[in-house]
Structure 1
Amino acid sequence: MSVARAAPPAPHPALAIEGVTCSFASAHEKGAVYTAVRDVHFTVGTGEFVSIVGPTGSGKSTILNVIAGLLAPSAGRAVVFGEDLHGINPHAGYMFQADALMPWKSALDNVAAGLEFRGVPRAEARERARPWLARVGLDRFGERFPHQLSGGMRKRVALAQTLIVDPKIILMDEPFSALDVQTRQLMENELLDLWSADRKSVVFITHDLEEAIALSDRVLVLSAGPGARLIGEYRIDIDRPRDVADIRMTPRFLDLHREIWSQLRDEVLKGYAQTKLQ
C-alpha cells in the first residue's frame, strides 16, 4: 500500500509587507499626526521585478524605507525570506534617486566601497570592482571622479555599486528620473540585462507609468495620500527579453497603459489637489 507524502512547504516570498501603516508627527499642525500609508499588503517573489506607482505624496519612498529597514512601521511588519525584519535589511541593496557617489573617490573606488565597508581588503575590493565596471560599460573610466562623468555614467557606477555586494533584494527609488529620455531608456535596458543574468528581486519606485510597465512583472498602484492604500495590482504579461523603447508601441503595452492609467489618473488629480492645499 502506498503512503501519500505531504507536499513540501511552499517557499517564502523574498518580501512580504503585511498591514504596514506609517504615521508621523505633522509638520504643519502641532500635536497632529500625519499618516503616510495605511494598511498596505503585498508580496514580492524571488526573482520578481515589481514597480510601485502613485501620485506625489502617496508614500512610495516610505514603503521602500520600511523594506530597507531604515524606518520602523507604526503598525504591521515587513517579512524578508520568512523572517520579521528588525533593523537594517541585510539582504537589500538601495539605489537612491540622487547620486550617492562619494565625490572624492574614483568610479572604481566608489564601486569597491561597499565591499570595503564589509571588511574586504582594499586591494581585493578594487580587483572585484573592475569586472563590475566592465559589466556596466565603464571599464575605461575607473579612475575618473564623479564630476568627470556624465549623468548616465554616474548612474551606471551607482548600479554597479549596488550590485557588487550581491543583494538578494534590490530597492530603487526613481533612479533614472533625472536623466534625459534617451539616456534613461539606455539605462532601463542596461538594468534589465543585468537583472536577467541572475534575477534578483526588485522593488522599483517610479512616477513614470511607461517605465513601470516596460520593466516590471507586476505594477502596484497606490492611492493619493495621506493614508495612501494599495488600490491596484496588474500583471505585466509582455514577453521577455524586452527592449523598453520597442515594446512601448506594441498593442499589449498600450492596453496595459490605458487600463492602469484609468485608475491612476484620478489619484494623481487628488494628489495634485492636496499639494495646492498645503
Structure 2
Amino acid sequence: MQADVTAGSTAVALDDTTVAFRLADARIYTAVERARLSLEHGEFVAIVGPTGCGKSTLLNVAAGLLRPASGTVRIFDRPLTGINREAGYLFQADALFPWKTAIDNVAIGLEIQGAPRAQALERAQGWLTAVGLGAFGNRYPHMLSGGQRKRVGLAQVLIRDPKILLMDEPFGPLDAQTRQIMGNLLLELWNADRKAVLFVTHDLEEAIALADRVVIMSAGPSARIIGDWRVPLARPRDILEVRMEKDFHALHREIWSVLKDEVMKGYAQSSQAGAA
C-alpha cells in the first residue's frame, strides 16, 4: 500500500528511538538514546555530529535496515515494520555494478520492478541527461570519475521516484570543487519536486548550505539529538554564493559553539579507544 503523501505530512518520525547493539562479550552498547526527530514532506534536513555518534545509525533506522531497541518509527504516519519502501538510499561508497554500463546501472532499478527493458533504458537515459551524463551511458564505472559515479548513483536512486531520500555522506569522498558541483545539482533536482531528504554529513558548512534544518547530535555512546536549527537562507541557493552571506556565517558560529565541544569529546574517546 502506498503512503498518503500530502503537503505538510510527516515523512519520517522518530519518537524516543533508542538503538542498541549486543557486543561480542555480551555487553549492550547503546549507540543512540531516545532520539526525537521529524522530517516533513518536502523538507531537507541535515544531521551533523562527531564521528561515531550514530548519524548513519539513525539513517539506517529510517531505512528499516535497523530495528530500534525502543521507541517508534513512523513513515508518512504509518509504523515502519520492515524495509522502508518509500525511501531511496544513497550511500557514501559507490553502489554501482562494475560489470554494467552507466545506463544499465540506472535502468536496473526499474527492471527489477518489472518494467520492460526498452522503457527502463529510455527513462534511464532521461535521468543520465538530467544529471549531466547524457553522453556517458555506455561507459563502465571504472571509466568514470568519482563525481561522475556519484551522478550515476544519484540517477540510480531517483529513477524509482522515492518519496524520501536518505543520503549518508554521499559527497564525502569527493574533492571540494566537485562537492560544490554535486551540491548544486542535488538542490536543482530536489527543487523540482521537493522530496523529503535526510542528509548525513560531517561538514557543517555543507549542511547549512543545503538544508532547511540542521540537526546536531552529541558524541556517543548513547548519543542524543542536542540541537535543531532552522536555516534562514532563501531558495534557490548556490552552494558557493550562499557561504558568503552574513546569515550563513552567523548560523555557522551559533551551531559550531555547540558542536565543537561534542567533536572534541568524540576525538578524545576515539583516541582513548585507540590507546587501549
Partner in structure 2 of residue 257 of structure 1: 252
Partner of residue 26 from structure 1, selected from 23, 26, 29: 23
Partner in structure 2 of residue 228 of structure 1: 223
Q: Secondary structure at the match of 1:221?
A: strand
Matched, 1:116 2:105: no
Partner in structure 2 of residue 271 of structure 1: 266
CA distance in 2, matches of 1:41, 1:19: 5
CA distance in 2, matches of 1:270, 1:150: 36
**Structure 1 residue 116: Cα displacement:** 1.1
Partner of residue 239 from structure 1, selected from 227, 234, 237: 234
CA distance in 2, matches of 1:146, 1:230: 37
TM-score (norm 2): 0.95
Partner in structure 2 of residue 4 of structure 1: none
- Cα distance change on mapping 1:268 and 1:163 into 2, 3 Å: same
After superposition, the CA RMSD in angstroms is 1.2
Matched, 1:14 2:11: yes
Kindly indicate whether the alpha-carbon contact (under 8 Å) linking 2:163 and 2:195 is maintained by their aligned counterparts in 1. Answer: yes
Partner in structure 2 of residue 137 of structure 1: 132
Matched, 1:173 2:191: no
TM-score (norm 1): 0.95
Q: Which amino acid is 1:21 matched to? A: T
Alignment of 1:153-172 (within 5 A): 153-172=148-167
**Structure 1 residue 31: Cα displacement:** 2.1
Which runs of no fewer than 5 residues in structure 2 stay unpaired?
1-6
Which runs of no fewer than 5 residues in structure 1 stay unpaired?
1-9
Number of equivalences: 268
Q: Structure 1 runs of 4+ off > 6 angstroms? A: none
Kindly indicate whether the alpha-carbon contact (under 8 Å) linking 2:8 and 2:41 is maintained by their aligned counterparts in 1. Answer: no
CA distance in 1, matches of 2:131, 2:173: 19
Q: Which amino acid is 1:215 matched to? A: L
Q: Which amino acid is 1:126 matched to? A: L
Bigger Rg over Cα: 1
